[in-house]
Amino acid sequence: MVTLMAVSCGGDSSPTQPTPPGGGGGNQTVTITITASGASQRSVNITPGMRVVFVNNDSRPHEMNSDPHPSHEDCPELNQVGFLNPGQQRESGNLVVARTCGFHDHANPGTQSLTGNIVIR
Ligand SMILES: [Cu+2]
């Protein structure tokens, strides 16, 4: 189930969000919500060019990065999410390469419930 929310950017200072070049129809996102019990979708399937939005609905910060920990080099697009305070959300970059991207909470690398896989195909 994909929940698309129209969020009006208020005072939240999001970092530079690159506009996808010529994104013809590929401008879609999938949302992964983090709560005290972990990431809500821990396995998502997307098509190349889509992005993943991480929403921190927990009461503590999380830091979402690409596997492997700690180098985070598999899917640099996921590292654009990074540190999320409670209530914050941020998009990944465009995931254009067909592959599987693992993610984890860099602040809690041993917590299985905060890891997951994004399958791009
Ligand atoms: Cu890490």
Per residue in 32-88, pLDDT (tens digit) is: 999 999 999 999 999 999 999 999 999 999 999 999 999 999 999 999 999 999 999
Number of other residues whose CB lies within 10 A of the CB of residue 16: 6
Backbone angles phi, psi at 110, to 5 degrees: -90, 0
The token pair at 94 is: 């465009």
Cα-to-centroid distance, 71 and ligand 1 (Å):
7
| pTM higher than 0.85 | no
The pLDDT assigned to 57 comes to: 98
Cα of 25 vs centre of ligand 1, distance in Å, is 32
